[in-house]
DNA sequence: GCCGTTTTCGGCCCGACTGTTTTCAGTCG
């Protein structure tokens, strides 16, 4: 896809222009880059069918940028960027990823010290060559070294699943301070992004007419925050904002805001930046001004205590944080057409659970007991099949035995007058040729069949696409587990044609899994949205090998929400009979 | 550089903090 390549080029041009302090042009390039990223059609196709004029019609693209796109499509490069790069030949993307370093500092560092990349930067900082430069200093030099360390470890982003439990604990503790009125996470934690750069927490303190008292209360919160267990470094501590590094290696910021501005601050710090820019523009169009302090008409504050009020005054329905990425949610809110997103209470059960029959931790009965306690109506046991020897995969005979055991447990439930049921499933392996590693007769004894790719992940795009298609065409296969195969921060998704998979999934009524494991979250949000649009049904599963990971379901749910999924899109939000009849493909 | 029933010229989102300064540039969200 050329879109993201060209977006990257425009992004880089923007950075170079910022280096020279050129006003407004950088934003224009950033804007264009962003529009290209979210454009669903292929830019090369647009050019092929509509020519230069079609390029100019794309929002944010004018004559000059259309020329650059044309140039790139024809020659594979953009001369203007080549010239800029020649002037300051540095690894811009890497250098600005260091906290506190921006394009202007990159320029100075190159001109004074010939720093081109991260290792140059690290060496210069270690040799104390940076502190003497104009505009730099001891502190900056130290921050650079720490910033580089941070980057080296985990590329500076953390899984939501690692971060959120810590955030919840911290919030729980701060909540207990009696001066605290409201508290909420903000930023990407609140939007439930799959990875988190740093954490923002927002606090309001109880109303008082005396500024000195307010100050003392804020001070108390700040003192408490920076002395929390788990804080390893204090970056800064003030009356309105403090910032710390946690033992987990990530940073956490807290802000104290007045009660009357809590909603506007929450809105503002929840982002995304792109979402907020549009909101501010809407405010301006209405003759208003929106900031973290409130929504103002002249000097009069007309909203700010809560988010709903702000959105309402701007003519919008309140938008769930998971949607705030400027990817159509504002338009939808204007037309009152926001989706009714799936919620934890909508989930009836989990169909991707491994028992001790295939090397999992817990017996089927224990798993069922835990699921019942969570309020589920059913649980599906989907043990691995024989190809996965390392996971103790079951062969036809073992699978049959296991099924009989499930019948036994289910009849016990019946005696106890419980509605709860264990469903018989498996997670079969999709072989490189697309066949399933266990025979159809064994599969036909099951309530449902999950199939997944677990081996030989490196194939050509065509081979992998055909492999998965063939599996979906098996009349017994109901669900494809972790369909893209990615592991966040470890492994890219495999090469395959997702659009084609969607087509066949719809035709064969195959369900695609949203795997809830924090390092999988597969499908990812953009895939989910595509699937929904294509009319393909999905299921949110945990892929648990122990009852302890049942609660991870919430990450799958938030991922589904980020993908605009509603109850109707997710089959484990349906009553069990409806779900079962949908699964029976043949 | 882009955009436009307020405009083909004059606007582009806003504010705070840090580290460097001694009034502010750069970065960040």
What domains can be seen in chain A, in order of their start residue? 2-153 (1.10.150.110), 156-256 (3.30.460.10), 268-338 (3.30.210.10), 344-583 (3.20.20.140)
Nearest nt to the A187 alpha carbon by C1'? B29
Give pLDDT, residue A93: 85
Other CB atoms within 10 A of residue A445 CB:
14
Reply yes or no on whether the pLDDT at A331 is more than 60.
yes
- Scanning A378-494, the segments in alpha helix (DSSP H) are 396-415, 440-444, 461-473
Reply yes or no on whether the pLDDT at A153 is more than 70.
no
Structure tokens belonging to residue A412: 């016990």
Nearest nt to the A140 alpha carbon by C1'? B19
pLDDT averaged over chain A? 89
Reference A311, options A328, A324, A298, A322; nearest CA is A324
Q: What is the arithmetic mean of pLDDT over A104-115?
A: 91
CB A326 within 8 A of CB A274: yes
Cα A116 to Cα A98: distance, rounded to the nearest angstrom: 13
Q: How far is the CA of A169 from the C1' of B25 (A)?
A: 38
Q: How far is the CA of A59 from the C1' of B3 (A)?
A: 10
pLDDT, tens digit (0-9, with 9 covering 90-100), for A172-188? 999 999 889 999 999 99
Other CB atoms within 10 A of residue A1 CB:
11
Q: How far is the CA of A109 from the C1' of B10 (A)?
A: 35
Q: What is the arithmetic mean of pLDDT over A365-378?
A: 93
Per-residue pLDDT band for A149 (boundaries 50, 70, 90) equals: confident
Judged by DSSP in three states, A252 sits in strand
Measured CA to CA in angstroms, residue A534 lies from A211, A338, A538 at distances of: 56, 18, 11
Per-residue pLDDT band for A160 (boundaries 50, 70, 90) equals: very high
Widest distance between CA atoms in chain A = 81
Give pLDDT, residue A238: 84
Residue with tokens 């280096």: A19
Reference A400, options A383, A413, A414; nearest CA is A383
Other CB atoms within 10 A of residue A112 CB:
15
Q: Report the sign of the C-alpha dihedral through residues A251, A256, A260, A261, in that order.
A: negative
Percent of chain A with pLDDT over 90: 51
Q: How far is the CA of A61 from the C1' of B3 (A)?
A: 10
Strand B nucleotides with an atom less than 7 Å from a protein beta carbon:
1-3, 6, 11-21, 25-29
pLDDT, tens digit (0-9, with 9 covering 90-100), for A465-478? 999 999 999 999 99
Other CB atoms within 10 A of residue A281 CB:
12
pLDDT, tens digit (0-9, with 9 covering 90-100), for A387-405? 766 566 778 888 899 999 9
Q: Kindly report the length of chain A.
A: 586
Per-residue pLDDT band for A99 (boundaries 50, 70, 90) equals: confident
Q: How far is the CA of A582 from the C1' of B5 (A)?
A: 52
Nearest nt to the A296 alpha carbon by C1'? B14
The 8-class DSSP code of residue A536 comes to -
pLDDT, tens digit (0-9, with 9 covering 90-100), for A486-501? 888 666 788 889 999 9
Q: How far is the CA of A35 from the C1' of B25 (A)?
A: 30
Q: Please tell me which residue lies nearest to nucleotide B6, judged from CA to C1'.
A: A285
Nearest nt to the A65 alpha carbon by C1'? B1
pLDDT, tens digit (0-9, with 9 covering 90-100), for A499-529? 999 999 999 999 999 999 998 999 999 999 9
Per-residue pLDDT band for A216 (boundaries 50, 70, 90) equals: confident
**What's the half-sphere exposure (Cβ side, CA atoms, 13 Å) at A228?**
26
Cα A279 to Cα A274: distance, rounded to the nearest angstrom: 9
Give pLDDT, residue A205: 87
Q: Which residues contact A431 (CB under 8 A, 6 or more apart)?
A: A387, A437
CB A221 within 8 A of CB A203: yes
């Amino acid at each position: 896809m050329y879109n993201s390549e060209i977006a990257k080029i425009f992004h880089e041009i923007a950075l170079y222009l910022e280096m020279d302090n050129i006003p407004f042009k950088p934003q224009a390039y950033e804007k264009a880059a962003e529009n290209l990223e979210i454009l669903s059609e292929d830019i090369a196709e647009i050019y092929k069918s509509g020519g230069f004029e079609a390029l100019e019609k794309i929002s944010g693209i004018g004559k000059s940028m259309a020329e650059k796109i044309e140039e790139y499509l024809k020659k594979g490069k953009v001369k203007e960027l080549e010239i800029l790069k020649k002037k300051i030949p540095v690894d811009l993307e890497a250098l600005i990823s260091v906290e506190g370093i921006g394009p202007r500092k990159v320029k100075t560092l190159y001109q004074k010290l010939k720093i081109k990349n991260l290792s140059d930067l690290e060496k210069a900082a270690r040799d104390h060559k940076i502190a003497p430069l104009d505009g730099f200093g001891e502190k900056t030099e130290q921050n650079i070294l720490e910033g580089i360390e941070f980057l080296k470890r985990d590329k500076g982003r953390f899984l939501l699943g690692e971060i959120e439990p810590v955030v919840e604990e911290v919030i729980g503790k701060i909540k207990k301070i009696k001066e605290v009125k409201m508290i909420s996470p903000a930023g990407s934690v609140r939007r439930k992004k799959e990875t988190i750069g740093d954490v923002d927490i927002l606090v309001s303190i109880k109303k008082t007419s005396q500024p000195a008292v307010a100050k003392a209360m804020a001070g108390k919160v700040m003192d408490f925050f920076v002395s929390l267990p788990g804080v390893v470094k204090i970056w800064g501590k003030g009356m309105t904002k403090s910032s710390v590094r946690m033992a987990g290696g990530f940073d956490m910021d807290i802000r104290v805001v007045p009660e009357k501005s809590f909603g506007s601050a929450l809105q503002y710090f929840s982002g995304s930046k792109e979402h907020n820019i549009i909101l501010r523009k809407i405010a301006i169009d209405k003759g208003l001004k929106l900031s973290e302090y409130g929504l103002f008409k002249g000097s009069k504050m007309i909203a700010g205590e809560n988010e709903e009020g702000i959105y309402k005054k701007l003519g919008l329905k309140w938008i769930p944080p998971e949607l705030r990425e400027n990817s159509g949610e504002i338009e939808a809110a204007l037309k009152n057409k926001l989706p009714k997103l799936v919620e934890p209470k909508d989930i009836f059960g989990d169909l991707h659970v491994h028992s001790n029959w295939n090397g999992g931790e817990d017996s089927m009965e224990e798993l069922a007991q835990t699921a019942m306690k969570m309020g589920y109506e059913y649980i599906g046991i989907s043990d691995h099949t024989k190809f996965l020897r390392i996971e103790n995969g079951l062969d036809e005979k073992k699978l049959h035995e296991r099924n009989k055991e499930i019948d036994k447990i289910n009849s016990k439930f019946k005696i106890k007058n419980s509605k709860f049921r264990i469903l018989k499933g498996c997670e079969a392996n999709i072989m490189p040729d697309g066949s399933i590693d266990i025979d159809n007769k064994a599969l036909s004894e099951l309530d449902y069949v999950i199939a997944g790719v677990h081996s030989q992940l490196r194939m050509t795009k065509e081979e992998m696409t055909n492999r998965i298609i063939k599996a979906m065409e098996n009349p017994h296969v109901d669900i494809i587990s972790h369909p893209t195969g990615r592991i966040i921060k470890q492994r890219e998704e495999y090469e395959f044609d997702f659009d084609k998979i969607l087509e066949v999934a719809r035709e064969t009524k195959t369900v695609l899994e949203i795997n809830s494991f924090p390092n999988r979250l597969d499908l990812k949000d953009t895939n989910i949205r595509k699937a929904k649009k294509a009319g393909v049904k999905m299921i949110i599963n945990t892929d648990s090998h122990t009852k302890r990971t049942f609660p991870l379901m919430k990450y799958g749910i938030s991922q589904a929400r980020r993908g605009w999924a509603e109850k109707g899109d997710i089959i484990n939000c349906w009553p069990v009979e409806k779900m079962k009849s949908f699964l029976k493909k043949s």
